[in-house]
Each structure stands twice: as structure tokens, then as C-alpha cells.
Amino acid sequence: MALLTYREALRAGLDEELARDENVVILGEEVAQYNGAYKVTEGLWKKWGDKRLVDTPISEAGFIGMGIGASMLGLRPVMELMFWSFAYVAFDQIINNAGCIRYMSGGLINVPIVIRGPANGGTSVGATHSHTPENLLANMPGLKVVVPATAADAKGLIKTSIRDNDPVMFMENTLLYGEKWEVPDEEDYLIPLGQADVKREGKDVSLIAHGRPVLTCLKAAELLAAEYDIDAEVVDLRSIRPLDEEAVLATVRKTHRAVLVEENRPFCGIDAQVASLIQEKAFDDLDAPVGRVSTIDAPAFYSPPVERRQLPESQRVIAKVLQIC
């Protein structure tokens, strides 16, 4: 195992894929000479040069469209967004082109593109820089959506995403970039898309999450065990689409209670879909209603202490667990 930050793990995965396949290129604002807005691509331009890392103009609609066209012609572009909030001006490109071309060409044209960058609140950058659009993108057939919570998952999933022949929307978190985890240092570490991970075994209640809320759930699980003698299982979805339905159903059948935790807002959020799955296919296994803990349903607050209260907190998770246990 190597001890890496989340950003270092992403960089290692990108570097390995640049070395493995000459068709892999990285494009985005400040990814090359500036070493990336969040230093994820630091050193890669110096190592791989102008042909493999390209600084783009500040025009998401333009460079995302360019990347989609390049992927249709055989390249495997990795496009960096400074914030996923900025992807909205490129939604026509992402939804109508990246999401539909393979279907509309009868499978003749693939779009092997990765669009990546941070999608999170908690950094006091305001409502227009704090969106978590995994629910919007997962609604589009043809797009895959990935939200890694740890450095190991970030590395394994970015490598798999680059090799995938479909467009993958890869959502990171600025609050995780500097956090360290052990990462397998095997030669070609890959994590399949659509495979959830049990981050903590438990028997009394299932905490199901993705992205940074996985860490919130792990903290809540430790407090529940210490203070209330409740043994919580923590399941990390990792991949939103494809969704590991069997992992969700297996944990619910094991613990008979579920609390779904996400940074998405509650209305039409990812957890609404997961709750629907549970009630349709595991209703008889439930001993209590499915609980949900989401971001409070309002635009992101600018005030740091208020924004912290808006996002899912461990105490809110604990309160919901106590309600159904």
C-alpha cells in the first residue's frame, strides 16, 4: 500500500493511463502549464508535453464539445471542469451529443470521454459553484456517473473510466483532495463501474451513501457504536449509474433498516431512486421506514457555519438512525 492524498491518487491514475494509451489526452482550463486549478494534473504537462495536456479557453460548451468530437474520432479525452457547476453551459453537448450518439448511430460511434472535476458544497464559494448534479446526469441513458469517496477508489475508478467506451461523468470533492488514504500500489489497480463497497460491516442498520457523505456515515457509525450500542453497516455506492442494486438489497436484507445519506438535495435526489429500489424489491425485509438525510433544500449558503449545517452532518445521521431504531 502507498499512502496518497485523493489528488495524488487521481494524478497517479491519470499518469498511468497517459503512459498506457497514446490516445489518452487531458484538456481543460489551466490543466497544463498551471498544473491544474486543484493541482490534480501537477507535473503531467512537463512530463507529457503539449500534445497530451492542453489548456483550453474559458468556454465549457466549447471545449467539452471539442472533447466529445475528439472521442468520436478515436481519442480518449479526460476533460477537467473547475467546478461541475460550470458544466451546465455544456449540457447540450453532454446530454444531446455524448449521451445520445452511440444510440443514434446504432452502436457504430462510441464516445469514450471522461468529464471530471469537483461537485460539492462546503467550501463557501456560493450557490453557483456548489452544485452536485449526479442526479441530473444519471437521469440520461447513455451517461455513466461515478462519485469516489476515497483515494483508492478515486484511482481505481478513474483508470476504469478512461478505458470505458461510454461517456463517464466523474465527480470529485475539493474537501477530499488533501485527505490521505492507503492506495494499492499494484501495477494496474482497477475498480469496475457499478460495484458498491462495504466500508464498514454492521448488523443493526445500513447507512448507504456516495462521495464525501460516506465519511460522514463512517463517523456516525463509530459514534452510534460507542454511545448507543448500535452496529451500523456503511455501504459506499461509488457508482451511481450503473448502480449496484444487489449490494443495496443485500445490506437491507441483512440489517432490515436503511438510512440513505447524500449531498444531493432531497427532491428528485439519488436517494429517492435508492429508496424506490428498496421499497420495490426489499419491502418485506424492512423493519422500519427508509430514512433519508440530504442537503437542506435551498441554494448553497455562502456563510461557512450555516453551510456546514446545510450539508449532511454526522449528528443528523445519528438522529435519523435513532428515529428508526
How many helices (DSSP H) and strands (DSSP E) are in the chain? 12, 14
| Assigned C-alpha cell, 29 | 482550463
Which of 8, 29, 129, 131 is flagged as catalytic?
Answer: 129
The residues that bridge with 291 in the sheet, in sequence order, are 259
Cβ–Cβ under 8 Å, residues 174 and 121: no
| Assigned C-alpha cell, 258 | 436503511
Is there a catalytic annotation at residue 60? yes
| Conformation bin of residue 211: beta by default, left when phi > 0, alpha when psi is -120 to 50 | left
Cβ–Cβ under 8 Å, residues 68 and 97: yes
Which of 16, 60, 80, 134 is flagged as catalytic?
Answer: 60
Q: Determine how many CB atoms are found less than 10 A away from the CB of residue 43.
A: 12
Quick one: 226 exposed, middle or buried, by C-beta within 10 A (0-12, 13-18, 19+)?
exposed
User: Which residue, 238, 310, 249, 240, is CA-closest to 275?
Assistant: 249
Tell me which residues are annotated as active site.
60, 129
